[in-house]
Structure 1
Amino acid sequence: MTEDATEGGRVSGEGGGAGEDLLGPDELGVARLGERATLVQFSSAFCQPCRATRRTLAEVAEMVPGVTHVEIDAEGRLALVRALGIVRTPTVLVLDRDGRIVRRAAGQPRRADVIAALGHAV
């Protein structure tokens, strides 16, 4: 995703602030990561853009083989939110197959930008 990808959001490239730390199924609270990539969405209960982001990421995960979408309630996972430097919702992290953050975007992304960001993960 690029800075243009997040209507008013901020984006960072490689690493996304988490350095070389890996996010695994245990940290995310899921059974397993996607075979090729994982789209991690941090949301909050009354966030309207989070709902639209959920639909977009679910559509992309359905379209692209080996990609999984995981949504995390930011309020319920404050330690993880703090560790990753999440400051607003929605925030989307694109993880490669090993759980390394390769792209990060705050704000509601467009489908085309999510697909392009996946190119950095697979």
Structure 2
Amino acid sequence: MTDSMMRDDGQRLGAAELGRDLGERATLVQFSSAFCAPCRATRRVLGEVADMVPGVAHVEIDAEARLELVRRLGVLKTPTVLVLDADGHEVRRATGQPRKADVIAALGEAV
């Protein structure tokens, strides 16, 4: 997750925006699009991390179907991954296909 920014704009994301409950400790939110090859690889990496780290959820959002949320959050390309803490606040953001080690390190900031 090298292309990252620290963010604290007071926004909180929850089940209403994500379509499912937040993870107990953290949530990996992935914005994807249908014809995005790196999105498929990102889905696999984030799913593996969520499976191996207790209390972490992975939520994939179709960017084209959720344009209002994409605009509100300033998502400019896919894949974009947000790392949310247990309260739904964004603590890290990255674009492009992440490496598993980078995702695990980013989770350290959220838990």
Same fold (TM over 0.5): yes
> Which aligned segments of 4 or more residues in structure 1 are displaced greater than 6 angstroms?
none
Q: Tell me, what secondary structure is at the counterpart of 2:13?
A: coil
TM-score (norm 1): 0.89
Number of aligned residues: 111
The residue number in structure 1 matching 2:17 is 27
Alpha-carbon separation, structure 2, partners of 1:11 and 1:64:
21
Deviations 1:33-90 (A, max 9, x none): 0000000000000000000000000000000000000000000000000000000000
Alpha-carbon separation, structure 2, partners of 1:11 and 1:103:
6
Over aligned residue pairs, what C-alpha RMSD do you find?
0.8
The residue number in structure 1 matching 2:56 is 67
Structure 2 residue runs of 5 or longer lacking an equivalent are none
Q: Tell me, what secondary structure is at the counterpart of 2:106?
A: helix
TM-score (norm 2): 0.97
The residue number in structure 1 matching 2:109 is 120
Q: Percent identity?
A: 71
Alpha-carbon separation, structure 2, partners of 1:43 and 1:117:
19
Q: 1:12 aligns with which of 5, 10, 32?
A: 5
